[in-house]
Amino acid sequence: MQCSIAKITLSLHLPNFKPFKMKLFLSSFAVLVALGVAQGASIPKNSIQLKNIEVLDGEGKYILGWEINEAGDEIVFEVEAETLGWVGFGISPQGGMTGADIFIGGVLSDGSTYAQDRFGIGRTEPKVDDHSDWRLLEAMELPSMGKTILKFSRLLDTCDDEDYLIGNDTNRLIWAMGDADIIRYHGTTRRGTKSTNLIHADLPELDLDTVQTWPMILDMEMPTVDTSYWCSFHRGPVLSAKHHVVGFNAVLPSAEALQHTHHSILYNCFLPAGSNETLEEVLGNYTVDKGHVGGDCYDPDTILPISYCIMGTFYVWAKGGKTLVFPEDAGYPIGDLPGQQFYMMEIHYDNPDMIEGLKFETGVEFYYTDELRPQEAGIMILGHEVDLSTTVPPNTPSYKDVGHCGSECTNMFPENGINVFNSLLHSHLSGRKMKARHFRGNVELPWLDYDDHYDFDYQQNKPLMTHVNVQRGDHITVECEYDSVWKNGEIVLGGLSTREEMCEDIVWYYPKINVELCTSGYDIDAHIREFGVTAYTETMTPMLRKYYIDAPENLQGDFFDSITYKFNWTEEFRTEYTNRRMYGIHTGACGIRDEVVHYDITYPESFIEYVPPNQCQA
């Protein structure tokens, strides 16, 4: 993802063309727009009356509707499922059966209804719960259509320690249906899982007829490497004056695009201050419409003009994400410099099976208007640096990494601070929980955002329920909890691959300021030496820096291999190590365009922790 915007330093070389035949860009415009919209999941015809609807099976055989009651304490569900047998629905802490809160119901052939509250205890028939939290409201069968419709409700917080608390973070839903009314978990069961936000701020409406759409698509063969970050250059609209971008979407027109595109980042390209060149001169020959597909973003010998764009993060989409629509009073300015606009797109292709010759289209689009909005929006990256100081110990179910944004950076905010309206929490496959904490002085305020059920496959540009005012001098800490058990004894390093880790909160806010990055990391040299290393070598690779341990002899070798297989992670070391990484002094980075200011930072001193209100104690 962002994946270390500030880290790429590249020199410019003369252009070097690879002739490439491109699909017609402009004539496929209309088709791409249609696909981009369709990507927001079309809902098949159904009878559900509730406000929110989602197709859980992807085919329309299991459709879920839901709505929160006016008092805000109860949620009503309605399921339309293609079966005359039992229908099951549940909410699960990790996406599996274990610990899931499950409701099963149906209609018998004599017309009578049944419903049960169950609790998942693994990949077996869930046991019947002692006390019932779910309430069956309605059940009916439509034999001619082969469908069952169930309406049922549950309190968001049942005040029972054993029940799942439905919060406004990711909810991992599980669903199942049987062919008969006898509940069996083998043979005829159809089932699946899908993540969503049951409680969410309403997406502001955007009428696509009132704005213009600009798609940027790359159509090429996916590189035959495990992880590649591919940079391509695109012409934006030609503008005679400033416009506002008011929304974004990913354009993933095929199953291949959906599967292998792990993130895309759009960057705005600028000329350095005082330049006597034009963007056309420096970028014009590299654009996709001129037949140039771009190249590896991290190739140190690149000839691509990446340096003009890399500081202009504009839009981040990550796997599972949906449309991003700005609040009605905010827009991101483009065309400050009138004329032809240029953008760079970074695509993270994930190809762990090293598939060869797979060609598909992937990209993003933005929606823009000449009706300027009162507020100008900006994007900022918070969290931990993407580097080696993220080292998750082996076989650890829960390890916490933190990244600070301190007052040294927020002091540059405007007098009335900034207002955050959207948040994208980002970590990779080991990420389990994330939280962006907000401090003013030594008092912790409500979290900016959190996710106790982080799902790598469901990353959202989440509109915040209340816009958060971050003032001058405030402090924000992003905390990420990782689980390395699935790596079978291996450590997990910070890095760009999905099997390595990141810890970021990418936020949209207004009014726009020049600060684009506010992160921190533990000092790399101190980090390496704490493992008892006395000598090491650092080399630049196309991706990130690599470290090789030279001494002592018993740890000699590549850092990852040695610290995984040769280093003795004793309990005592783990405890001290974990504490130091979390509470020790970090080096903060405050990034303003092409300049990064460094400072020392840790948590605010003896702060008063924020405790979310608990209705149950009342």
Using CB under 6 A, list all residues that contact ligand NAG.
15, 168, 201, 276, 281, 285, 446, 449, 462, 464-466, 568, 570
Query: Which residues does 572 contact at the CB level (< 8 Å), separation at least 6?
Result: none
Q: Cα(132)–Cα(128) distance, rounded to whole angstroms? A: 9
Structure tokens at 93: 């802490």
Structure tokens at 603: 């948590």
Query: Is 262 a catalytic site residue?
Result: no
Between 181 and 452, name the residue whose CB sits nearer to ligand NAG: 452
Q: Rounded to the nearest whole angstrom, what is the least distance from the CB of residue 199 to ligand NAG in the complex?
A: 7
Shortest Cβ contact with ligand NAG: which residue? 465
Q: Rounded to the nearest whole angstrom, what is the least distance from the CB of residue 534 to ligand NAG in the complex?
A: 19
DSSP 52-100: EEEESSSSSSEEEEEEE-TTSSEEEEEEEES-SS-EEEEEESSSSSTT-
CA angle at 308 for the pair 305 and 313, rounded to the nearest 5°: 120
Q: Rounded to the nearest whole angstrom, what is the least distance from the CB of residue 432 to ligand NAG in the complex?
A: 18
Between 243 and 432, name the residue whose CB sits nearer to ligand NAG: 432
Query: Is 229 a catalytic site residue?
Result: yes
Q: Which of 234, 384, 404, 426 is catalytic?
A: 426
Query: Which residues does 365 contact at the CB level (< 8 Å), separation at least 6?
Result: 32, 33, 36, 213, 214, 215, 216, 248, 249, 251
Q: Rounded to the nearest whole angstrom, what is the least distance from the CB of residue 424 to ligand NAG in the complex?
A: 11
Structure tokens at 304: 């691509």
Between 183 and 283, name the residue whose CB sits nearer to ligand NAG: 283
Structure tokens at 282: 């420096």
Q: Rounded to the nearest whole angstrom, what is the least distance from the CB of residue 304 to ligand NAG in the complex?
A: 12
Between 334 and 434, name the residue whose CB sits nearer to ligand NAG: 434
Q: Cα(457)–Cα(215) distance, rounded to whole angstroms? A: 23
Q: Which of 229, 315, 509, 547 is catalytic?
A: 229
Query: Which residues does 75 contact at the CB level (< 8 Å), separation at least 6?
Result: 66, 67, 68, 69, 153, 154, 155, 156, 166, 198
Q: What is the DSSP letter of 205?
A: P
Cβ atoms 251, 367 nearer than 8 A = no
Q: Rounded to the nearest whole angstrom, what is the least distance from the CB of residue 454 to ligand NAG in the complex?
A: 13
Report CA Rg, the chain.
26
Q: Cα(490)–Cα(560) distance, rounded to whole angstroms? A: 8
Q: Which helix (H) or strand (E) holds 349?
A: strand 339-350
Burial of 575 (0-12, 13-18, 19+ CB in 10 A): exposed
Between 260 and 292, name the residue whose CB sits nearer to ligand NAG: 292
Between 135 and 200, name the residue whose CB sits nearer to ligand NAG: 200
**3-state DSSP: the chain helix, strand, coil percent, rounded to 5?**
10, 40, 45
Q: Rounded to the nearest whole angstrom, what is the least distance from the CB of residue 475 to ligand NAG in the complex?
A: 18
Q: Rounded to the nearest whole angstrom, what is the least distance from the CB of residue 541 to ligand NAG in the complex?
A: 29
Between 478 and 589, name the residue whose CB sits nearer to ligand NAG: 478
Between 285 and 602, name the residue whose CB sits nearer to ligand NAG: 285
Cβ atoms 32, 251 nearer than 8 A = yes
Between 449 and 481, name the residue whose CB sits nearer to ligand NAG: 449
HSE-CB at 130 with a 13 A cutoff on CA atoms is 3
Q: Rounded to the nearest whole angstrom, what is the least distance from the CB of residue 197 to ligand NAG in the complex?
A: 8
Neighbours of 249 (CB within 10 A): 27
Q: Rounded to the nearest whole angstrom, what is the least distance from the CB of residue 436 to ligand NAG in the complex?
A: 9
Which residue from 72, 154, 66, 65 is spatially nearest to 118, judged by alpha carbons?
154
Q: Cα(216)–Cα(32) distance, rounded to whole angstroms? A: 9
Token pair 């002085």 is found at 441
Between 67 and 226, name the residue whose CB sits nearer to ligand NAG: 67
Structure tokens at 138: 């309605």
- Catalytic annotation, residues: 229, 426
